[in-house]
Structure 1
Amino acid sequence: MIQLKNLTLRRGTKELLSGATANFLPGQNTGLVGANGAGKSSLFALLRGELIADAGDLVVPAHWTQAHVAQETPALDTPALDYVLDGDAELRELQQSLAEAEARHDGEAIGHLHADLAHIDAYSAEARAAKLLSGLGFAPDAIRRPVASFSGGWRMRLNLAQALMCRSDLLLLDEPTNHLDLETVLWLEDWLKAYPGTLLVISHDRDFLDSVCGQIAELADAQLTVYTGNYSQYETMRAEKLARQQSAFEKQQRQIAHLESFITRFKAKATKARQAQSRVKALEKLERISAAHVDSPFDFTFDTPDNLPNPLLRLDAARIGYGDKVILDRVNLSVEAGSRIGLLGVNGAGKSTLVKLLAGELAPLSGQCVGAQMLNIGYFAQHQLETLRVDQTPLWHLQRLAPNTREQELRTFLGGFNFHGDAALAPVGPMSGGEKARLALALIVWQKPNLLLLDEPTNHLDLEMRHALTLALQDFAGALIVVSHDRALLEATTDRFWLVANGKVEAFDGDLEDYRRWRLEQLAESAAPGNGDAQGVNRKEQKRLEAETRQRLSVLKKPLQTRLNKLEKELDALSTQKAGYEAFMASEGAYAEENKAKLADAVKKLGEVSARLAEVEEDWMTVQEELEQLEADA
């Protein structure tokens, strides 16, 4: 178990944690949430031993193996598969020891090492690493390529695969869904739900947190508060807590006003001076309750576009790709005014390539891309953050777009994106990815586009900013095309989908759940017996999937079975107590005068035990039904 005991953590002059106390149990999946800069990554650094607490204690079991995702990936010649295998340090150590023993011709050591390797299932390690890479979107022919040949986003996936390869007791994941597409996020969710160790994950993806986490730890105002349940349940409980806090604050303000009024009226009167003085002391000793802050730091909307031609943009038999490589062929589509379209498809299918063509960053290899005369495109993609001037400020960037607008108006606008005061005058270079993304979005909003093209706009954005962006997009009057792994954003802002697959772009008839089912059917068909030369491999794959299902079921059943066993023990104890009280009350001696007090106590205790017995029996039935449902679903 991980324990934080009255822990204080500072970075420079900023206090990130003050007297924090919390427990994280083995096998528990916890989502760590909080605004950017609240200290989430610093808490991870503390858990990894890279920082030292300023006060209090942090207890992590010494024998636990930790895994986390490296932030840097050197340009290595190591094949991707071997790089992922490096994540299992114990495997690599045993392999090294075996090579040394074989060089010495030490038969006894070789025998022991082979036994140790078998114990950690080393002989399936390469297959497990390949499976991880496949799940994270790597093609079969890519796993032998050197690490240096992959782009930055794919290297981050390699780092994630390496962390998942480690047979860890504690897994720390910081924004793991960034750089992943929707397909891969769904795969990662399933993997993490079956992970047997303790998981702590920082994420701003509410659907991901809802799917994976059984509790939420909120870091805010230097306090760490743990809520039982997933993210949606946390939101409800937090809202209730803030409402109670605000009510207590308002009640105290009335009390303070009453005390101050009494002091003001009577401090000069001799007959009331002592009472007034006692109220002064009471006021000084009063522990002040803070007002509940529930307002978002973000406040912006998309203004109505000056023009809304229809259609805004049209593709006629467009062939899309790079050089001789065709990714999408003979694409015919029209973007109408008011369209709200989400792009679906596996990674590499061509979603981002299509968006680049629509944005004018890519010309069609053949065919036409025709935009309306008054087309005004707002295009957001991660690579555009690199075009921001690192030596200049948010205000400077906005002044370039609006040189004739008053500075105060520009600063007010930037304030809606949480660039208040000096933040609007700070250089872009040291800013976080989230701050740069906010600035890029602010520049787009200012230009009043009539067509928005958004390629993964929520990467690096915290939950508050994601919510604000979702609300703004819901009121956007122009047309919207969005690529995103954030299901909450897609569901809230789009009303239809285009499927990018097999070199084509076609309308998809259904919602995200329909798309997930469709993908599972596609995978099942490709793995069905009789498909080409892969029949033997597919049978192995089927057995592997069945084994994974059994393992996942075992992991899900374990906490329920533990709870059931605990309830059964309590039922036995309560039943014994109840029988004892009933036996006493049935005896003649219970009603003797000298046992009057004992009889009254027995009657009271019997009532308490019976009530508790009824509660435990109901809990037992609930857990038993959950176990039976798990078995049925499997």
Structure 2
Amino acid sequence: MIQLKNLTLRRGLKELLLAANLTINPGNKAGIVGANGAGKSSLFALLKGELHADSGDAIVPPHWTLSHVAQETPALAQSALDYVLDGDAELRGLQHKLAAAEASGDGHAIGSLHGELDRIGGYAAPSRAAKLLNGLGFAPDSHQRPVSTFSGGWRMRLNLAQALMCRSDLLLLDEPTNHLDLETVLWLEDWLKAYEGTLLVISHDRDFLDSITSHIVDVSSQSLTLYTGNYSQFEVMRAEKLSRQQGDYEKQQRQIAHLESFITRFKAKASKARQAQSRVKALEKLERIAPAHVASPFDFHFDTPDNLPNPLLRLDAANVGYGSTTILHRLAVSVEAGSRIGLLGVNGAGKSTLVKLLAGELPPQSGELICAQTLKIGYFAQHQLDTLRPDESPLRHMQRLAPEVREQELRTFLGGFNFRGDMVSDPVGPMSGGEKSRLALAMIVWQKPNLLLLDEPTNHLDLEMRHALTLALQDFGGALVVVSHDRSLLESTTDVFWLVADGTVQPFDGDLEDYRQWRLAQLAEANRPSSGDAQAVNRKDQKRQEAEARQKLAAAKKPLLAKLSKLEKSLETLGKEKAELDAFLSSEDAYSDANKAKLADSIRRQGEVASQLESVEEDWMLLQEEIEAIEREHASS
């Protein structure tokens, strides 16, 4: 078992844990939850041996094999399959020993090592690795591709596959669902349910936690509190605990009534915005857990849009893609006033491409995008975080948006997104991904859009902020189009789904469970053995056709891969420089009198590097999508 006894843990001057105690029994699957900065990732670093306790004990059985997801993925020439196999260190060790024994002709060692390989299932390891890759969304023909040819998001999946490949006793996963699509999250849930070891997972995805966890560890107030049950059960127990701690639940209700009275007097229109057809079940769920969020630091809402034309926009026979490659064909859909649309589809199907088209970031290759004159779009996507000015504060960003508004009003508004005290005037550059996401959302909310386009808005957001965002979106009076792997957000804020598949977009008649069943049936059909005419194909001709197709694909991709390689080298160089600048700017030394000149130069250079990174990453993303489009076309031909 894992035992933490009277544990005190500090990072710099901040005391994360103080005399904390925790016991995790073998086979437990525990979700680690708490606000950003509470110490969740530091707890993982402690268990991995990267940090040491300032006092107390952290005991992990010494014979346990520990597995975790690597944060970096070198641009390796080895294949994806071999990279995943590296996750099983014992397998690789035996293989190396066997190669040495065979080279020296040591028959006794060769026989013994074959026995060891058989004992650990080593001969089935390539098949196990291939199943992991398939489950995480890698096409079978990509298993032999060099690691260096995959994009950043797909390399993260390779790291996850490598961690799952390890036959571990303890598996540590930190936000494993970030950057995964919905169906891959569902596959990962099934895999983790069958995992026989001890699992600790940091996640802000409540449905994911509900599906896989047997316990929840709440990291808050410098302590660790273990609850039995999944996340929803934890919220009920925590709500009861909060009520007991306050000592008087009626007093709590009076405080809530006072708050509602304030909103009614000063924000009447916004507080009375219609629920916009949000699902009754989701509302009941949110109301049931609301007491657990009484202490939430977030308090914001979307004001009623000034105009709500109908339709807000429509596509007429529109094609969209990158360069000469078309991703989505002849789109004919419209976004009506008050519509709340969730986009479904596998990674690479074109969901983000569609959102970029609606946002005006990608012009149609043909056809028309027709927008209402009073259309006002609020667009959130992860790449937009890089457009924030790293040397400027959240307050300065808001002042650029609203130069005529009093500073105190802007400070109060930012407080609803938990930018308080010195954070309001601190530079954005060193801030976390979650803090930057909150600022980007704050800037969108301020502008009173009548159409929200949200592409994975919950990445980097903790559970409290996700809850606050869900409530705000439920009350939003405009139209909403959202891409998200967060099922709770999709179920609570959308009324209809559009399916992005096979190069087009069409309504999907059903809910998320229907979509899951549809995908399972689709995968089963794809994996069904062919018969009849397909079996009669001459094998020699088939091999020749496959070889010709591979050569054609390689020729089409060769110039693009050369450009991709150059961009990746630039990304690596700029990324290293940005990491060094971020590390310096987040250190205490940066703000000493002796480093004033260096600080100013570093802040200026950080802005330049961020801008260069944004440009190179955009070029890289467009090129990668063009390559993937060519591969999909090859696979379907």
TM-score, normalized by the shorter chain, greater than 0.5: yes
- 2:260 aligns with none
- 1:344 aligns with 344
SS in 1 for 2:177: coil
Query: Could you tell me which amino acid in structure 2 is paired with residue 123 of structure 1?
Result: Y
Q: Which runs of 5+ in 2 are unaligned?
A: 252-291, 537-637
Q: 1:542-598 CA distances to partner (integer Å, 9 max, x unpaired)?
A: xxxxxxxxxxxxxxxxxxxxxxxxxxxxxxxxxxxxxxxxxxxxxxxxxxxxxxxxx
1:530-549 counterparts in 2 under 5 A?
530=530
- Quote the offset at 1:21 in angstroms: 1.5
CA distance in 1, matches of 2:511, 2:104: 62
Query: Could you tell me which amino acid in structure 1 is paired with residue 176 of structure 2?
Result: P
- Quote the offset at 1:13 in angstroms: 2.1
- 1:175 aligns with 175
Question: Does the C-alpha gap of structure 1 residues 13 and 532 become closer, same or farther in structure 2, counting only changes over 3 Å?
Answer: farther
Query: Could you tell me which amino acid in structure 2 is paired with residue 320 of structure 1?
Result: V
Scaled by the length of structure 1, the TM-score of the pair is: 0.76
CA distance in 1, matches of 2:521, 2:249: 55
Contact 1:183 / 1:347 at 8 angstroms: preserved in 2?
Answer: no
Contact 2:351 / 2:483 at 8 angstroms: preserved in 1?
Answer: yes
CA distance in 2, matches of 1:221, 1:309: 48
CA distance in 1, matches of 2:327, 2:293: 49
- 1:151 aligns with 151
CA distance in 1, matches of 2:162, 2:531: 31
- 1:429 aligns with 429
CA distance in 1, matches of 2:133, 2:486: 22
- Quote the offset at 1:526 in angstroms: 2.0
Query: Structure 1 residues 372-381 or 462-471, which shifts more?
Result: 372-381
Q: 1:328-382 CA distances to partner (integer Å, 9 max, x unpaired)?
A: 1111001001010000111111111111111111111111111111111111111
- Quote the offset at 1:523 in angstroms: 1.6
SS in 2 for 1:178: coil
1:558-577 counterparts in 2 under 5 A?
none
- 1:15 aligns with 15
Question: Does the C-alpha gap of structure 1 residues 25 and 365 become closer, same or farther in structure 2, counting only changes over 3 Å?
Answer: same
SS in 2 for 1:218: strand
- Answering whether residue 434 of structure 2 is matched by residue 415 of structure 1, we say no
- 1:381 aligns with 381
Question: Does the C-alpha gap of structure 1 residues 38 and 306 become closer, same or farther in structure 2, counting only changes over 3 Å?
Answer: same
Query: Could you tell me which amino acid in structure 1 is paired with residue 394 of structure 2?
Result: P
SS in 2 for 1:379: strand
- 1:443 aligns with 443
Q: 1:147-198 CA distances to partner (integer Å, 9 max, x unpaired)?
A: 2222221111111111001110000000000010101100000000000100
- 1:361 aligns with 361
- Quote the offset at 1:295 in angstroms: 2.0
1:514-593 counterparts in 2 under 5 A?
514-530=514-530
Query: Could you tell me which amino acid in structure 2 is paired with residue 339 of structure 1?
Result: S
Contact 2:378 / 2:453 at 8 angstroms: preserved in 1?
Answer: yes
SS in 2 for 1:158: helix
SS in 1 for 2:439: helix
Question: Does the C-alpha gap of structure 1 residues 533 and 177 become closer, same or farther in structure 2, counting only changes over 3 Å?
Answer: farther
Query: Could you tell me which amino acid in structure 1 is paired with residue 438 of structure 2?
Result: R
SS in 2 for 1:505: strand
Question: Does the C-alpha gap of structure 1 residues 7 and 249 become closer, same or farther in structure 2, counting only changes over 3 Å?
Answer: farther
- Quote the offset at 1:418 in angstroms: 0.4
Q: 1:484-506 CA distances to partner (integer Å, 9 max, x unpaired)?
A: 00000000000000011111211
CA distance in 1, matches of 2:16, 2:96: 42
SS in 2 for 1:477: coil
- Quote the offset at 1:448 in angstroms: 0.9
Contact 1:529 / 1:535 at 8 angstroms: preserved in 2?
Answer: no
Query: Could you tell me which amino acid in structure 2 is paired with residue 170 of structure 1?
Result: L
- 1:96 aligns with 96
Give the length in aligned residue pairs. 496
- 1:124 aligns with 124
CA distance in 2, matches of 1:533, 1:486: 43
Question: Does the C-alpha gap of structure 1 residues 234 and 428 become closer, same or farther in structure 2, counting only changes over 3 Å?
Answer: same
Q: Which runs of 5+ in 1 are unaligned?
A: 252-291, 537-634
Query: Could you tell me which amino acid in structure 2 is paired with residue 427 of structure 1?
Result: P
- Quote the offset at 1:293 in angstroms: 8.7
CA distance in 2, matches of 1:496, 1:533: 41
Contact 2:243 / 2:249 at 8 angstroms: preserved in 1?
Answer: no
Query: Structure 1 residues 393-402 or 519-528, which shifts more?
Result: 519-528
- Quote the offset at 1:483 in angstroms: 0.3
- 2:465 aligns with 465
Contact 2:380 / 2:457 at 8 angstroms: preserved in 1?
Answer: yes
- Quote the offset at 1:468 in angstroms: 0.4
CA distance in 1, matches of 2:249, 2:507: 53
CA distance in 1, matches of 2:37, 2:294: 18
Q: What is the alpha-carbon root mean square deviation over aligned residues?
A: 1.8
Query: Could you tell me which amino acid in structure 2 is paired with residue 472 of structure 1?
Result: A
1:216-615 counterparts in 2 under 5 A?
216-247=216-247, 294-530=294-530
Q: 1:32-82 CA distances to partner (integer Å, 9 max, x unpaired)?
A: 000000000000000001111111111111010000011111222222111
- Quote the offset at 1:323 in angstroms: 2.1
SS in 1 for 2:124: helix
Which of structures 1 and 2 has the larger relative contact order (alpha carbons within 8 angstroms, sep 6+)? 2
- Quote the offset at 1:430 in angstroms: 1.1
Query: Structure 1 residues 158-167 or 394-403, which shifts more?
Result: 394-403
CA distance in 2, matches of 1:333, 1:387: 30
CA distance in 1, matches of 2:533, 2:93: 37
- Answering whether residue 4 of structure 2 is matched by residue 4 of structure 1, we say yes
Q: 1:303-324 CA distances to partner (integer Å, 9 max, x unpaired)?
A: 1111111111110111121123
SS in 1 for 2:332: strand
- 1:142 aligns with 142
CA distance in 2, matches of 1:520, 1:135: 12
CA distance in 2, matches of 1:383, 1:230: 33
Contact 2:297 / 2:417 at 8 angstroms: preserved in 1?
Answer: yes
- Quote the offset at 1:529 in angstroms: 3.8
- 2:590 aligns with none
1:51-90 counterparts in 2 under 5 A?
51-90=51-90
